[in-house]
Structure 1
Amino acid sequence: MKLTIVGCSGSFPGPGSPASCYLVTAHDGFRPWRILLDLGSGSLGVLQRYMDLKDIDAIFLSHLHPDHCMDLCGLHVAVHWDPAGWNRDRVTVWGPAATADRMATAYGLPLDPGMHEDFDFNSWAAREPVELGPFTITAVPVRHPVEEAYALRVEAREPLADGSVRTSVLAYSGDTDTCDGLIEAAADADMFLCEAAFEEGRDDGIDGVHLTGKRAGEMATAAGARRLLLTHVPVWTDINTVVDEARETYGGGLAVAVSGVTYGVWSGDRLGEPADPPEAKDPTRA
């Protein structure tokens, strides 16, 4: 399984990255499958550097804040108004129950048909796995000030040349504060893609919204995650600060998500990190 960071800027697009969007790829022995975890503000354009939009197998939304879902509006245009015709099935979307109505309202469409002609909307049921190609995706409720917010556990089964099957696990926090659901979703994950939007001493008095680097490290340690990849860091939060905080509470492999970097996600392999790991700093501020 491979993880490509399309967008990782927290809360709104930054000068070096769109908002949240993560391309996950795995092979079932016949073809590669490509899924997206979130499709936040500004991500649709950058996504096209890495794939044809017609090759999206499904989109999985953690919650309905604009920095995690709003570029579904742009994808609706790409599907609905392609002069050559989309000539594919509707795009499968999994998300909170209000997803279809929220997207129609955002684009100024009537709720019926809204975007149903272009997207096959499906609603999460907590802890009920969704099977797609080599993937199993499970949504676990977490703590964030919206009606439905989920961490996503992505398991991939990929056949190897010797006939065996490799299973790898990617956990994605979505947006959350500390909670048992986050630990559950990230249990024994090969990689834990975890938000760290807040800083200790500045934001730690705010409860139920985001994690600090320290809290992210605590969650990764409690879950037994093998690697921690910090993400969703806003432009006003110092990356070095959240990394230093996470190192105080987590002793495993630690890095910061950078837009454009692809990571391998499987245990016991250096491809769990990029070939040349970026320094823990914001490249847009270099």
Structure 2
Amino acid sequence: MELTVLGCSGSGPGPRSPSSGYLVRAGDSTVALDLGNGTLGALHRYLDPFQLDALVLSHLHPDHCADVASLVVYRRYHPAPPYPPAGRRLPVYGPGEAADRLAAQYCASTAERCVEDLTDVLDFQVITDALTLEIGGCQVRARLGVHPCESYATRLEHEGRSLVYSGDTGACESLIDLARGADVLLCEATWPQVGPHGEAQPEGVHLSGREAGEHAAAAGVGRLLLTHIPVWYDSAVLLAEAKSAYDGPVELVSAGASYEI
């Protein structure tokens, strides 16, 4: 498998990166994990969005799904699509509210309830805890994380190699269980262990750099890739925290970087 970072800026796009979005090539299949603000533009550098085989959304915060609206425009109104508009719809795997929430995001603001329907170009499939499915030749498993909204970590396996993406989550055993023995853990590290004024970080929202390292160590993963760092935090601090808790290879991802798995 190959992982390409479309964007990795936490909570919103930054000056050097779009928000969260990752492209995974597994054999002949191409799967996008999240499609946050600015990531569709980056996707064009690697393939025509019509060539995408599936999109998996960890959750429905805008920094992980905002560019779905632009993807709909591209697939719906492209003047020369590779197949008829009523042809192949893109499978989109996400939380149960994805179809309605993304339709509301797409439609113009009116006094009346939005009635936009995206199912002419998107085929929505619901993710649930402990779901197992196959996308192309890639086996995919999902586990529910801990976040203010429904959010899932996913594990992709292909020909004996494995990648786990945390999505957004606070500390949880489900992420450790899902990541156990994985070759790579792509894990959020959103803030330092202690806030800038010495305060404890809130529980059930995000992982610190140290917690990302602790989860990687507990799961026995082969490599830890840190992502989702907001522009207002020093990434070097979060990297140092992760290294203090995990003695395997660990690095910060960057937009445009690719990793063989």
Same fold (TM over 0.5): yes
Matched, 1:220 2:181: no
Is the CA contact (8 Å cut-off) linking 2:6 and 2:18 kept in structure 1? Answer: yes
Deviation per residue, 1:30-72 (Å, 9 max, x gap): xx21000001111000110111111100000100000001110
| AA partner of residue 78 (structure 2) | D
State the shift of 1:126 in Å: 1.5
Q: Please give the residue correspondences for 1:91-240 in structure 2 after superposition, counting only pairs within 5 Å.
A: 91-108=90-107, 114-146=117-149, 148-157=150-159, 167-202=160-195, 204-240=200-236
State the shift of 1:173 in Å: 0.4
Is the CA contact (8 Å cut-off) linking 1:197 and 1:212 kept in structure 2? Answer: yes
2:176 counterpart SS class: helix
Partner of residue 19, structure 2: 19
State the shift of 1:200 in Å: 1.9
Q: Which runs of 5+ in 1 are unaligned?
A: 158-166, 266-286
State the shift of 1:112 in Å: 5.2
| AA partner of residue 119 (structure 1) | L
Q: Which runs of 5+ in 2 are unaligned?
A: none
1:19 counterpart SS class: coil
Matched, 1:249 2:242: no
Deviation per residue, 1:136-189 (Å, 9 max, x gap): 11110010000x1111111112xxxxxxxxx10100000011101110121111
Deviation per residue, 1:188-215 (Å, 9 max, x gap): 1100000001112216431111111000
C-alpha separation in 2, matches of 1:86 and 1:145: 39
Partner of residue 270, structure 1: none
State the shift of 1:86 in Å: 5.2
CA RMSD of aligned residues (A): 1.3
Partner of residue 284, structure 1: none
2:256 counterpart SS class: coil
| AA partner of residue 91 (structure 2) | T
1:125 counterpart SS class: coil
| AA partner of residue 75 (structure 1) | L
Matched, 1:54 2:50: yes
Among the aligned pairs, what percent are the same residue? 44
Is the CA contact (8 Å cut-off) linking 1:213 and 1:243 kept in structure 2? Answer: yes
Is the CA contact (8 Å cut-off) linking 2:154 and 2:165 kept in structure 1? Answer: yes
Q: Report the count of equivalent residues.
A: 251
C-alpha separation in 1, matches of 2:19 and 2:210: 22
1:38 counterpart SS class: strand
C-alpha separation in 1, matches of 2:229 and 2:201: 18
| AA partner of residue 69 (structure 2) | C
Is the CA contact (8 Å cut-off) linking 2:214 and 2:246 kept in structure 1? Answer: yes
Q: Please give the residue correspondences for 1:48-87 in structure 2 after superposition, counting only pairs within 5 Å.
A: 48-85=44-81, 87=83
C-alpha separation in 2, matches of 1:230 and 1:60: 19
C-alpha separation in 1, matches of 2:134 and 2:115: 28
State the shift of 1:221 in Å: 0.5
Is the CA contact (8 Å cut-off) linking 1:204 and 1:212 kept in structure 2? Answer: no
Following TM superposition, the consecutive aligned residue runs of length 4 or more in structure 1 with deviations greater than 2 angstroms are 109-113
2:35 counterpart SS class: coil
Partner of residue 4, structure 2: 4
Is the CA contact (8 Å cut-off) linking 2:107 and 2:116 kept in structure 1? Answer: no
